[in-house]
Structure 1
Amino acid sequence: MRRDELLDAAECLLEDQGSQGLTLAAVAERAGVSKGGLLYHFSGKEALIKAMIERLIGEFDAMIEAQRESTYTRAYLKATFEAIETGRLRRWAVVTGAAGDPALLAPLREAMARWHRHGLDDEPHPQTSQIVRLACEGVWEVATHCPAIVDYGAVRQGLLALL
């Protein structure tokens, strides 16, 4: 079984049962492998959570890169709304919620710092770009916890107009 299939199984388990349901035995069962097969790829639960977080960061980096047409902030904004529209945002909430140890979220904090610093000085209006990036964080939060209260298309257009 491939590593990504194990990560998919863990994410599905988290979404269905929450962090209390994330055990190595449950992940192995969900993936249809032995616990030993799971341990071949991940040394324990922390390694599994760390791998899920790293995968999400890598995916978001790829989404930003795929959107690169003019400025980094525009790409970041478009990647944010793509994450919402495709349901990937839900995966972020589920996985980061499973990380009970703040140290497991260190890669995410580092990625966020990088995303918010990257190319800011090259933007036509650095302060406006920073505001748009921070607004994207607010959109993520609302979309995670109460998605029906926002017209995402209108918000996206408004933020793009600021740039």
Structure 2
Amino acid sequence: MSLANQRKKEPDVVRQKLLDCAAQILVDRGLANLTVQAVADAAGVTKGGLLHHFASKQKLTEALFAEKLRSLDAEIDASMAADPVAYGRFTRAYVRSTLRVGQTGPCPCAALSVSTLVDPALRQAWRDWYSARLQRHRDTDGAPELQLVRYAADGVWLEDLMAPDSEPPIDRQALFSQMIDLTRKR
């Protein structure tokens, strides 16, 4: 009997390890280096083992994106739960998650998020998530000034991705404070 047949099968654990390794490859090496073989090697499984869980690189990428959206959802929900002011609550949570004030290092989902610009399936997943959140919070976050704040947060995120390393960093805390101030009713 082979070792594979003796080992306890834990498909959920293997699937999560594959997603974790794919995320780490994205952070360390970028989307261009996210290959089925690289993820399989990093996870210590065969390419066939990876393909058992994800039929293609596209399916792996979509699953990773869905996981990042669930993580973003949880982060935003936790931030909203701690915010006692209803007006602009979602927008403030979105700004906190987008600007990542006080956090260092590359955003684990940056390379994946950029993929929404060229990958129709990921773009649709983002649109669906964002539209659902806006619909859910339309009574508290539907004002045009709050939409402008969310657009500004997206602009900061894009600037982070596009700015050359030699450019002085933006004052995140100052931007964050100004954006949060704009979400308060006057």
Q: Specify whether residues 114 and 136 from structure 1 end up closer, same or farther in structure 2 by C-alpha distance, changes over 3 A only.
A: farther
Following superposition of structure 1 onto structure 2, how do residues 6-155 of structure 1 map, counting pairs within 5 Å? 6-68=18-80, 69=83, 70=85, 71-82=89-100, 85=103, 87=105, 90-98=107-115, 101-123=119-141, 126-146=143-163, 148-155=168-175
* More helix, by proportion: 1
TM-score by length of 1: 0.83
Structure 1 unaligned residues grouped into runs of 5+: none
Count of matched residue pairs: 161
**Contact 1:19–1:97 (8 Å) recurs in 2:** no
**CA–CA separation in structure 2 for the residues paired with 1:117 and 1:138:** 22
Q: Specify whether residues 75 and 90 from structure 1 end up closer, same or farther in structure 2 by C-alpha distance, changes over 3 A only.
A: closer
Cα displacement (A) at 1:154: 0.4
SS in structure 2 opposite 1:91? Answer: coil
1:162 aligns with 2:174: no
**CA–CA separation in structure 2 for the residues paired with 1:98 and 1:30:** 22
**CA–CA separation in structure 2 for the residues paired with 1:97 and 1:134:** 16
Cα displacement (A) at 1:119: 1.7
**Contact 1:18–1:98 (8 Å) recurs in 2:** no
Cα displacement (A) at 1:84: 7.6
Rg comparison, structure with higher value:
2
Q: Specify whether residues 116 and 44 from structure 1 end up closer, same or farther in structure 2 by C-alpha distance, changes over 3 A only.
A: same
When the two chains are superposed, the root-mean-square deviation of aligned CA atoms in Å is: 2.5
**CA–CA separation in structure 1 for the residues paired with 2:157 and 2:95:** 11
Structure 2 unaligned residues grouped into runs of 5+: 1-12
